[in-house]
Chain A
Amino acid sequence: MGLLGFYFRKLITLIKGEVLVLPSRTIVGLFVLFLLIMPLITQDPYIIRIMIITSIFAILAASWDLLSGFTGQMNFGHALFFGVGAYASALLNLHAHIPPWGSVPLGAVVAILAGLIVGIPCLRIKHIYLALTTFAFPIILIGIINALPDYTGGDLGLSGLQRFTNSLVGGYYIHIITMLVLCFVMWKITDSNTGIIFHAIREDELAVKASGINTTRYKLLAFCLSGFFAGIAGGLYAHYMRIAGPSTLEVSMSFNVVIWAIFGGIATIYGPIAAVFILNPLLEFVRFWPEYRMLIFAVVVLLILLYMPEGLITWVREKIEIQCPRCKIRNVAIRKNCRVCTAELD
């Protein structure tokens, strides 16, 4: 009992000292809490459905950020990984009768292979060439899918997939918790040494090479990791919608991912996630005028970019937090002195 109390007090101190001191961390904490208790507030199937789809897309957007935001390898065909994940897990589920628990991770493994297939030729090209080349891959796959309708269902896609669970709330928790765990893992990856190397590759690949780091390996690693997470998102999406169709590979899907990530602010992981959670429900919210939906979406994105070209979340964070000039630790913007080294903030 005493031990339990000790850990409890330690947790409280931790929350007080590390989470509540920064508004961004507080917001993230509250948001996670909100996601976890949402079914207690409302069990409206429509809202639950939106939240599930939004969380799947959040994984996708974050995985784009892991690859393109961090290493600067502009991937314009991110739908490829999503679609490969979706199709692979759908085929495994339909033909090999593997339950979703197995088919989603296996589909993600296939998506890693897709990451390698895209990554290896793309190692030689840079910047805009890379963006335009990666753009081509999902379209090639759509063509192949349409040309082989016997195996892939052609235009209609593969339907009749198993769901994880038929219970509403159960499904909600499966998707939300997967999303939270995967996003946390991605954030941890970007926070680790690997993440720092990814950062450095974007800033100056030559310097990284000169430091004796095999950038080729790290770039391929980024492609594989990103492919893995996007593949999981694809598998989850296929199993949730119970259909894997060519729409998962469309140009608009690739564009959407890029829009989400840049809207939220790249190279942050939390930026794209937040952007998905803002834009996707917003898109659903304006369903009262279905014909203006895409128009409103485009205008909102355009206006936000016009005033906050670094991304919405990055902009907000700059406003509410300030970096200590001496010890580089972040503080609330209203503080006069740094919370750690008491240097004066300006």
Chain B
Amino acid sequence: MNIIITGLITGSMLALLAIGFSLIFGVARIVNIAHTAFYMVAGYIIYYLSIRLGLNVILSMLIAVVAVTLLGLLAYKFLIDPIREHELAVMIATIALALIFQEVTLQIFTGDYLSVYFLIKGYFIIGGNKVFYQQLLTFGVVLVILLVIWFLLMKTRLGLAIRSTAEDREVANLMGMNESRLAMITLGISVALAGVTGAVIVPLAVLSPYMWTEPLILMMAVVVLGGLGSIKGSFVAAYILGFTEALVTFLIPAGAFLKGPVALSIMILVLLIRPEGLFGIAFEEER
């Protein structure tokens, strides 16, 4: 039972992060290493507003998501947009950005572990295991957000634009889509997703300035496993890896050390058989 709950929660978190990451990669070819750093920043903002300033938790979550999105847009405008043609430089810029976030939070909040209250307290018991309402809530919210994203991408004009740009940037540009603005919007959505992830996970997680590296690794594994740019792939892969992690942690002695490696080994094995990931479309050679 514990396995199922942990697997669901980790999987949902990874799904949200991975979808944001692969969205911005698909549309703008930006490998945003700082993606999980935004998630960390959102967590800290929520902590600051709700614990230090005593604001309502839900209100502070909303503020956090908006603030992180603005931060992401600013970072895009001033740091990433000027060097867009140099993909590698962009990647390094995002690494540097993540380091800056890490260091700034370290300065402000020190390296201590912090946590935020649950939104709703209490738990019920199934089969001898505690299930916190908070965990159910988190899972529910994640599902709702995933639905919203799916709707946005599949049913709206903006979603059509995003998908077509992801498929072929030049043709989309020729069809009159403003590629640069679209990239900016997508980055906004992607960072907002990271912020939302931070908001829903923060009551269950421990905050530390280094918390961005661990999900970063798993998120990349999810994205690769599911196939870049495939929402469905990211979704399935996230739960596969989430459950693997939970299984390894609970069933194997010294499993806590091995949870990352096992998940990553699965990724490598799948890639050996299907180099484009589970649901990915093989990219045509870009010329």
Contacts and interface: CB of A to CB of B under 8 A. Distances in A.
Greatest chain B CB density within 10 A among A121, A141, A251, A309 is at A309
Contacts of A143: 257-262
A220 interface: no
B107 A124 contact: no
B228 A136 contact: no
B104 interface: yes
Contacts of A127: 283
A255 B258 contact: no
Contacts of B275: 124-125, 129
Nearest to A256: B95
A310 interface: yes
B272 A124 contact: yes
Interface stretch (B38-46, B63-71, B217-225): B217-225
B220 to A, nearest CB: 4
Contact of A136 (B93, B213, B217): B217
A305 B92 contact: yes
Interface in B185-230: 213, 216-217, 220-221, 223-224, 228
A147 B92 contact: no
B161 to A, nearest CB: 22
B268 A121 contact: yes
A139 interface: yes
Given A128-B31, A128-B228, A147-B254, A140 B261 contact: yes
Contact of B96 (A142, A292, A305): A305
A320 interface: no
Interface residues of A, number: 42
Nearest to B97: A302
B4 interface: no
Contacts of B216: 251
A295 B217 contact: no
A340 interface: no
Nearest to B92: A262
B95 A128 contact: no
B31 A295 contact: no
A135 B220 contact: yes
Contact of B213 (A125, A251, A258): A251
A294 interface: yes
Contacts of B261: 139-144
B24 interface: no
B104 A295 contact: yes
- Chain B CB count within 10 A is highest, among A291, A299, A302, for A302
B217 A309 contact: no
Interface in B253-282: 254, 257-262, 264-265, 267-268, 271-272, 275-277
B268 A136 contact: yes
Nearest to A131: B31
B103 interface: yes
Contact of A128 (B25, B106, B260): B25
A125 B260 CA distance: 21
B221 A136 contact: yes
Interface of B: 25, 31, 33, 79, 82-83, 85-86, 88-89, 91-93, 95-97, 99-100, 102-104, 106-107, 213, 216-217, 220-221, 223-224, 228, 254, 257-262, 264-265, 267-268, 271-272, 275-277, 283, 285
13 contacts: A124-B271, A124-B272, A124-B275, A129-B228, A133-B267, A139-B264, A142-B261, A143-B258, A143-B262, A251-B216, A251-B217, A298-B100, A302-B93
Interface of A: 121, 124-129, 131-133, 135-137, 139-144, 146-147, 206, 251, 255, 258-259, 262-263, 266, 291-292, 294-295, 297-299, 301-302, 305-306, 309-310
Given A259-B95, A266-B88, A306-B93, 11 more contacts: A136-B221, A136-B264, A143-B259, A144-B258, A258-B91, A259-B96, A262-B88, A295-B100, A298-B99, A305-B93, A309-B86
